[in-house]
């Protein structure tokens, strides 16, 4: 019972952190008007939370498990997937997407990738029973419903300037520009959902290969983020002609988003340490996170509650029911054979 409560608490921590991640990152990206600079801040925050802090804790001892080559490689791969997913989210926001629908799309598609990859890695397609599949469908359906019936932000800006711009732009040009933006957002969302969908199964293998250690896989994730999200973007700022600028507000918001992402990664590791499996942990996280994302976006944008449609609320309820179904009927894994004495 203690392990179950611990797993549920860890899942809640991850869902909360990753649900708030998108809206917070959006503020950082807008403040710096750049795709690479917020990515650098996310990587720095991961390095502080997922490398420096765990190393200090490990120095005190009492950390189970051990370093293994296989575990390090799998955990680095998981960190790379997480970093690429973060890049996909930033690119989607840069292309004009909004957290209120970008994140539900990512979290709606990631469970499918997670389930299929987990079944492939564990050769466990026969464990995907009807109730579990139904719960997964409910999670995806709820996330899509939240997306379709999302509250619309109140238009603001300079109407006169918008009108002049509209007169100067012909209708075909406007349609072509909007189509290009939609394609860019969808491609970036696809990168994010594929990467984050693969994150859980890969991380689980890394943790298992290091004897169930909680801090060692987190350190590997932080190192991967530092390499991909800090060193590479800093080297590309000038060659790509990044037109953004560093700002205290943008750095603060982006660092906060990175901190949330790292704490969410720790929550995932803790859920696995309490006996959770990618089959159940990740669909529940990805089912609850878009709801938290949407509510956070509404709160930060100060949108009135009258903007919430009944269908939107129904989508939130469907996600909750689907997440509970996935948790209850999720595959429990193959029983390990007894070693011959």
pLDDT tens for each residue of 143-196: 778 767 766 655 544 444 444 444 555 666 666 667 777 788 889 989 998 999
Determine the structural domain holding residue 311 and report its residue range.
2-329
Residue 336 lies in a domain: no
Average pLDDT over residues 57-67: 85
Residue 341 lies in a domain: no
108 close to 322: Cβ distance less than 8 angstroms: no
Residue 272 lies in a domain: yes
Q: Cα separation of 108 and 176, whole Å?
A: 27
Residue 23 lies in a domain: yes
Q: Which residue has the higher pLDDT, 259 or 175?
A: 259
Average pLDDT over residues 127-134: 82
Name the least confident of 61-65, 152-156, 281-285. Answer: 152-156
Query: Can you read off the two tokens belonging to residue 54?
Result: 């765990």
- Cα–Cα separations (whole angstroms), residue 339 to 60, 169, 196, 208, 304: 34, 73, 36, 19, 62
Residue 334 lies in a domain: no
CA dihedral 275, 276, 279, 283 (to 10 degrees): 180
pLDDT at 331: 65
Q: Which of 298, 294, 84 is nearest to 189 (CA)?
A: 84
Residue 339 lies in a domain: no
**Residue-wise pLDDT tens digits, 79-129:** 999 999 988 988 888 888 877 778 777 877 787 788 888 888 888 777 778
Percent of the chain at pLDDT exceeding 70: 84
Q: Which residue has the higher pLDDT, 180 or 267?
A: 267
What φ, ψ does residue 245 adopt, rounded to 5°? -150, 150
Q: Which residue has the higher pLDDT, 34 or 320?
A: 34
Q: What share of the chain is helix, strand, coil (3-state, %, to 5)?
A: 80, 0, 20
**Mean pLDDT, rounded, of the chain:** 82
Please state the domain count of the chain: 1
Residue 338 lies in a domain: no
Residue 306 lies in a domain: yes
Q: In sequence order, what DSSP letters do the residues of 265-284 get, joined into one string?
A: HHHHHHHHHTT--HHHHHHH
Name the least confident of 195-209, 212-226, 292-306. Answer: 292-306
């Amino acid at each position: 019972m203690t392990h179950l409560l611990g797993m549920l608490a860890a899942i809640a921590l991850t869902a909360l952190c990753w649900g708030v991640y998108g809206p917070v990152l959006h503020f950082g990206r807008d403040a710096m008007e750049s795709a690479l600079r917020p990515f650098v801040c996310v990587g720095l925050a991961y390095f502080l939370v997922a490398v420096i802090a765990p190393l200090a804790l490990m120095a005190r001892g009492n950390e189970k498990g051990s370093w293994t080559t296989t575990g390090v490689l799998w955990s680095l791969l998981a960190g790379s997937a997480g970093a690429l997913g973060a890049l996909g989210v930033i690119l989607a926001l840069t292309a004009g997407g909004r957290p209120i629908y970008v994140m539900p799309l990512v979290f709606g598609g990631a469970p499918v990738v997670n389930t299929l990859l987990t079944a492939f890695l564990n050769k466990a397609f026969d464990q995907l029973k009807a109730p579990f599949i139904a719960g997964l469908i409910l999670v995806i359906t709820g996330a899509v419903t939240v997306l379709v019936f999302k509250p619309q932000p109140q238009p603001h800006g300079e109407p006169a300037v918008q009108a002049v711009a509209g007169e100067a732009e012909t209708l075909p040009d406007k349609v072509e520009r909007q189509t290009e933006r939609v394609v860019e957002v969808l491609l970036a969302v696809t990168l994010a959902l594929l990467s984050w969908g693969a994150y859980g199964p890969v991380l689980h293998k890394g943790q298992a290969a290091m004897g169930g250690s909680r801090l060692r896989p987190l350190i590997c994730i932080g190192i991967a983020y530092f390499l991909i999200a800090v060193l590479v973007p800093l080297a590309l700022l000038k060659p790509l002609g990044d037109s953004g600028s560093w700002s205290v507000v943008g750095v603060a918001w982006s660092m906060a988003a990175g901190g949330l992402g790292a704490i969410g990664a720790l929550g995932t590791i803790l859920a696995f340490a309490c006996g959770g499996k990618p089959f159940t942990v990740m669909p529940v996280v990805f089912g609850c996170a878009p709801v938290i994302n949407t509510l956070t976006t509404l709160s930060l944008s100060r949108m009135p509650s009258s903007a919430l449609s009944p269908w939107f609320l129904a989508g939130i309820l469907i996600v909750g029911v689907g997440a509970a179904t996935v948790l209850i009927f999720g595959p429990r894994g193959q029983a390990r054979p007894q070693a011959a004495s």
